[in-house]
Amino acid sequence: MFLPSLMLLPVLMAGVVSGCEQKTLTILALGDSLTAGYGLAADEAFPVQLETQLRMRGYRVRLVNAGVSGDTTEDGLRRLESSLRCSPDLVIVELGANDALQMLDPRQAKTNLIMILSRLQSAGIPVILAGMKAPPYLGAAYVASFDPIFPQLAEEFEVPLYPFFLAGVAGKPELNLADGIHPTAAGIRLIVTNILPQVEQELKRLNPE
């Protein structure tokens, strides 16, 4: 299940935390409007809410919001190097929704994600890959080509997969803005709750103590 309309959105970047704290782990959230927090207050965006929950659990982390509304996997790849200037200890990759909504070739989306994952792997940076699903109205053939990209790459690169970033949120009016596309603050809160165990698992691997 996915969102039924196509919208190319303006750029929205939200810096989450400035400065650096000794022994604080940096998590880079590389994504599109779903990461950026389109239509939300700055403190309601996914990276901010995730950082808040992790800090409440005692983790010393800072989240860097590298979400840009309207970005495709190609756009994410293009700005990967500049995004890595924050020297992240962990990267959450959330890209692909706009590729599907624009009906871009799934093979190219897969290639772009391969290049992103390869670059991160070569740098020794752990990754959580957030999966995306194509809208059913695009047809069974497109869905069959697009949806398997994420589990295939997670297996190939041996990285943890969060199967569907919008799980439990997509298609629920009460958890989406009036445009029917973007999660409300409550929708983001649910996403954070759902992905939190995987993020915690990776942080424990990075800092067993």
Q: Enumerate the active-site residues.
A: 33, 179, 182
What's the half-sphere exposure (Cβ side, CA atoms, 13 Å) at 56?
8
At 171, the amino acid letter reads G
Considering just the CA atoms, what is the radius of gyration of the chain in Å?
Answer: 16
Say whether 205 sits in a helix, a strand or coil: helix
C-alpha span between 115 and 95 (Å, rounded): 13
Q: Can you spell out the DSSP letters for 105-173?
A: -HHHHHHHHHHHHHHHHHTT--EEEEP----GGG-HHHHHHHTTHHHHHHHHHT--EES-TTTTTTT-G
Nearest to 65 by CA among 29, 20, 18: 29
Report how far Cα 165 is from the mean position of its chain's Cα atoms: 7
